[in-house]
Amino acid sequence: MATQREESGIVTLTEQGVKQVQDSPLWNDDLRPTTRAEHNWSGLSFATLWVGMCICIPTYTLAAGLIGLGMSVWQSIFTIFLGNLIIMVPILLNAHAGTKFGIPYPVFARLWFGSKGAHFPAMARAFVGAGWFGINAWIGGAALDTLLVTFYPAWANVSMHTGIIFLLFWLLTMIIAYRGPQAVKKLGAFSAPTLAILAIGLFIWAVVKADGFGPMLATPSKFETTGEFLNVFWPALTGVIAFWATLALNIPDFCRYAVSQKSQATAQVLTMPITMAIFSFIGVAVTSATVVIYGEAIWDPVQLLAKFPPYVILIGAVGIVLASITVNVSANLVAPARAIENLWPRRITFGIGAVITGLIGIAMQPWFILENFGNYIFGWLGTYGALLGPIDGIAVADYWMVRKRRLDLVELYRSNGKYSYASGFNMKSIYALALGIAASLLGLIVPGLSILWENAWTVGLFVSMFAYWWLMRTDASLLSQTEYEQITEISQLAKRENDSNVAL
């Protein structure tokens, strides 16, 4: 009897499939596969999601910070656009799995690491997300603190005033996040157009104050030779790629609600790279303008905000707060909360996971990460890119190269199923992960191989991808087309598509 049903490219559990695993310790209402009715996110939902996430302060500081490192405007834009095109590839590849099978990232990870081993990639993503949560909460709190000091100067004399506002902002974000990932769609629909208008307003101000495009875009590169430029370009490119390496892993958390593959893929391709390029251009252009206007590059928007009249500070603070909450709820809390929930599905809810994520974000000291741009791109982005790159490679290899998009949903929720491997751990994925990380670390150890570390995400991705494919190519957990059809009730349209894929 079929345990799953495929229709229009989307696979759901049948009633028989649900009965077999609904009492499993690996099952709860948040981690189960989505039903057909829950696939209700249109392309517009994904477009507003990405606009809301891209128009955020970390995007601005990433782009503006490249100017501070010595790049020209056009060198900065090129680096950012190239990095976003690269990371879009694994985003789309992993999004396909979430859309087709309706599973969240922690469950997806069971395929590669096993029912227990999946906690490692899930928690690795969780800690990075928690760090980003802390960064955005600190930025939002700092904006509110600036607003208070402007309208109530005595507030600056209160001991630890910035820390107090940070905690209040943290609490506000937690209240919104506690409502769950479906709240993201509503938040994005409101914040996306609002943030776009504020970004355009900031750009117009920069053009006017810098006396036109010429001066603001004329800031030259500080690099005298190609070699000097490449010494900054490679780690900067890794930082740009790593910026969305987290979403490249947990994009199934959102795409599991997609109406269709076409709608989510089209919306993401048209929205993310373009929005990142436009807002990055605004970031670097405004930062270049600050060199003309103030004689120094101000890449921190909160510091820039403090130089405006009070009414502008009020509008800007609202924008920064809205941007910080939007990206925090959508990009930085869903995946960590799901990962923590997956540690004990029968006891930990999404809301509890969100609260734990927020506490970890505080513990990771975001104020230190944002102390200077070197900490931000070379320390924070570069280091976690070396960890997430290999995991991205394993995810892509497993779904596309090893399993060829054929999964048994029921087995994902069995404690001793085929995806449990040896006592819940797939040692082949662990070996592949170790090889990917080791390849990048050679760049820190061996003189002359620094380019390996400077490109840690890319190096780790390809090394782990091909190592995993080689180790898993004949694994007993793989499903043949015949075995897949035995457990899947396939509509005639889906069957024709599958037959076409087999022929290819």
For the chain, percent helix, then strand, then coil, each to nearest 5? 75, 5, 20
User: Which pLDDT score is estimated for 472?
Assistant: 98
Neighbouring CB atoms inside 10 A of 503's CB total 6
Is pLDDT at 324 greater than 80 in this prediction? no
User: Which pLDDT score is estimated for 503?
Assistant: 42
Beta-strand relationship, 10-13 and 4-7: antiparallel
Is pLDDT at 376 greater than 60 in this prediction? no
Residue of 402 and 340 predicted with greater confidence: 402
Residue of 232 and 413 predicted with greater confidence: 413
Distance between CA atoms of residues 307 and 329, nearest Å: 29
What percentage of residues in the chain have a pLDDT greater than 90?
Answer: 36
Residue of 487 and 160 predicted with greater confidence: 487
User: Which pLDDT score is estimated for 250?
Assistant: 87
CATH number of 4-369+390-503: 1.10.4160.10
User: Which residue stretches of 102-211 are H helix?
Assistant: 105-113, 119-151, 161-177, 182-209
Stated length of the chain: 504
User: Which pLDDT score is estimated for 142?
Assistant: 82
Is pLDDT at 183 greater than 60 in this prediction? no
User: Which pLDDT score is estimated for 498?
Assistant: 55
User: Which pLDDT score is estimated for 53?
Assistant: 81
Distance between CA atoms of residues 345 and 35, nearest Å: 19
User: Which pLDDT score is estimated for 199?
Assistant: 82
Mean pLDDT of 62-82: 83
The predicted-structure confidence for 403-457, as pLDDT tens digits, reads as follows 999 999 999 999 889 999 988 999 999 999 999 999 999 988 888 888 898 888 9
Mean pLDDT score across all residues of the chain: 85
User: Which pLDDT score is estimated for 502?
Assistant: 46
Distance between CA atoms of residues 448 and 455, nearest Å: 14
Residue of 12 and 187 predicted with greater confidence: 12
Mean pLDDT of 328-350: 79
Mean pLDDT of 322-333: 75
User: Which pLDDT score is estimated for 349?
Assistant: 80
Indicate whether this model's pTM tops 0.75: yes
Is pLDDT at 497 greater than 80 in this prediction? no
User: Which pLDDT score is estimated for 57?
Assistant: 75
Is pLDDT at 30 greater than 50 in this prediction? yes
The predicted-structure confidence for 261-312, as pLDDT tens digits, reads as follows 999 999 999 999 999 988 888 887 887 788 888 888 777 777 787 888 888 8
- Strand-pairing partners, residue 488, are 4
Mean pLDDT of 98-125: 92
User: Which pLDDT score is estimated for 148?
Assistant: 85
